[in-house]
Amino acid sequence: MNRLIDSHCHLDRVDLGPYDQDFAALIRACSESGIARMLCVGIDLDSYPAMRDLVDPYPEIDVAVGVHPNESGGEEPSLERLLALAADPRVVAIGETGLDYYRLGDGDASVQQRRFRIQIAAARACGKPLIIHTRAARADTLRLLREEGAAAVGGVLHCFTEDWETARAGLDLGLYLSFSGILTFKKAEPLREVARRVPLDRLLIETDAPYLAPVPHRGRSNTPLYLGYVAGCLAELRGLEVERLAEVTADNYRCLFRR
């Protein structure tokens, strides 16, 4: 059986309906279907303690703490607070953070930028890599990563959907690129073209569950159990056996997150 690692999911938001609201049953199902490890990613500081408690009994689940660019109204991230939370040995990364101008509306990009800079500084101070979300903001994302010296800790451009030029710039900063179920979408041919070119030693896979379910479950609630569809698609693009892709992406995960 393949031993896949889901490098980005939100387990506290996955639909537990099929498991009678039993989180342990979901995790058991993941393990039985070959998901060896998962990285459960925080999106705000208010929901973080409950998420951290939820995954506590499962050593195969790593954690990231951070504030998503589109979250608003909750606790603002400060360097002190992030460092206190990141001192937890189960925390392997800072994120998800980044910039998202797609849903900015009339909002002020400077708020997102300030938060992003603080989180990059926190990652540098604790020596843990970044989980970076970028949407409709590629130039500013790369600029802030450079200005704040993110290359010192590295990280991943998660749920990568940008063009090759952006991929190249990310790779030059030492970043990994993580591909999600979007890779399986019918219209994603340009993205599949990018995925064919990324060096094997910089590839990660993720579900971003409960979002972005891959084909043939597109539009429904996503779960780490669907990671196999992402792995299968990427393996085919790379001309690799799924077993080999599982190995490569697991090695990359351990290398980036020091697991």
Helix, strand, coil shares, percent, the chain, to 5: 45, 15, 35
Residue among 106, 104, 129, 105 at smallest CA distance from 119: 129
75 token code pair: 């606790």
Question: Please, which residue, 95 or 154, has the CB nearer to Zn ion?
Answer: 95
Say how many C-beta atoms besides its own lie within 10 A of residue 70's C-beta: 18
CB 94, CB 82: distance < 8 Å: yes
Minimum Å gap between C-beta 243 and Zn ion is 27
Residues of this chain, 192-231, that bind Zn ion according to CB under 5 A: 208
Is 162 annotated to bind a ligand? Reply is no
Using Cβ positions, the residue closest to Zn ion within the complex turns out to be 208
User: Hey, is 216 helix, strand or coil?
Assistant: coil
CB 41, CB 92: distance < 8 Å: no
Beta bridge partners of 4: 35
Question: Please, which residue, 62 or 208, has the CB nearer to Zn ion?
Answer: 208
Pattern of binders to Zn ion over 160-199, x per CB under 5 A? ----------------------------------------
Minimum Å gap between C-beta 20 and Zn ion is 26
Question: Please, which residue, 218 or 238, has the CB nearer to Zn ion?
Answer: 218
Minimum Å gap between C-beta 10 and Zn ion is 6
Minimum Å gap between C-beta 38 and Zn ion is 12
Is 217 annotated to bind a ligand? Reply is no
CB 94, CB 101: distance < 8 Å: no
Distance CA 182, CA 100 (A): 17
Question: Please, which residue, 44 or 208, has the CB nearer to Zn ion?
Answer: 208
* Binding-site residues from annotation: 8, 10, 96, 133, 158, 208
Q: Note the residues at the interface with Zn ion (CB under 5 A).
A: 208
* Binding-site residues from annotation for a divalent metal cation: 8, 10, 96, 133, 158, 208
